[in-house]
């Protein structure tokens, strides 16, 4: 499961570059990375689920704006 989360966090990090052109566009991937990293550190499933839902929303935001 950690490899899936690590891959997701890398993809979120790569999405910073195109979203840097949108004002406050990097907020959603950064929030998702923060929630996922806190969830991994604390071994809290609720934070991981919240991070994954925010990451899905950030990918939708990426596809919508770029």
Per-residue pLDDT for 21 more than 80? yes
Confidence of residue 25 (pLDDT cuts 50, 70, 90): confident
Residue 19 lies in domain: 2-65
Per-residue pLDDT for 22 more than 90? no
By the 10 Å C-beta count (0-12 exposed, 13-18 middle, 19+ buried), 29 is classed as buried
Read off the pTM.
0.87
By the 10 Å C-beta count (0-12 exposed, 13-18 middle, 19+ buried), 31 is classed as middle
- When divided into structural domains, the chain yields a total of 1
Phi, psi for residue 21 in degrees, rounded to 5? -80, -20
């Amino acid at each position: 499961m950690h490899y899936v989360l690590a891959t997701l966090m890398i993809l979120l990090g790569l999405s910073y570059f195109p979203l840097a052109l949108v004002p406050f566009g990097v907020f959603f991937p950064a929030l998702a990375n923060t929630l996922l990293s806190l969830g991994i550190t604390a071994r809290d499933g609720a934070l991981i689920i919240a991070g994954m839902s925010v990451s899905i929303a950030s990918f939708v935001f990426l596809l919508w704006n770029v």
